Amino acid sequence: MSPSSSSCYIRNGPCTHLNPDKCIVKQPRIKFFDNYLTPEGIEPDPQKVITEMKAPENATELQSLLGMANYLSRFAPNIAGITGPLRDLVKHDADWQWCPDTLNKHLLLMS
């Protein structure tokens, strides 16, 4: 199959064409699914990272915080250990108690 003027072909195979209008090469960073692919690895989009968040006041707000933490877990070491006490608060039979230990875990999670 020969390349046409509207697209380029990789290895001359079918279904492997690239649109030259959308193809940018030799970039130091590529945005892909709200992350950046770099030579150093995958990095979160700085515009998507939340650096300040008020302490949750109920289980629903805590679930939102834990969802954000789960999304960013690939960038934070030991996230399961940090969120363990917080996850205990959202269990069905758990009473809502925001104590100093959970506050410290919240602050650690946000740093």
Q: b vs e for 54-76, b when ≥16 Cβ sit within 10 Å of the residue's Cβ?
A: eebeeeeebeebbebbeebeeee
Q: Are 83 and 77 in contact (CB under 8 A)?
A: no
Give the chain's end-to-end CA distance (angstroms, integer). Answer: 54
Does the global pTM surpass 0.85? no
At 97, the pLDDT band (50, 70, 90 cuts) reads: confident
**pLDDT mean across residues, the chain:** 75
Q: Which range among 7-11, 32-36, 42-46, 59-63 shows the weakest confidence by mean pLDDT?
A: 7-11
Element (H, E) at 108: helix 100-110
Q: Are 82 and 103 in contact (CB under 8 A)?
A: no
* Tally of CB atoms within 10 A around 89: 20
Which pLDDT does position 13 carry in this prediction?
A: 57
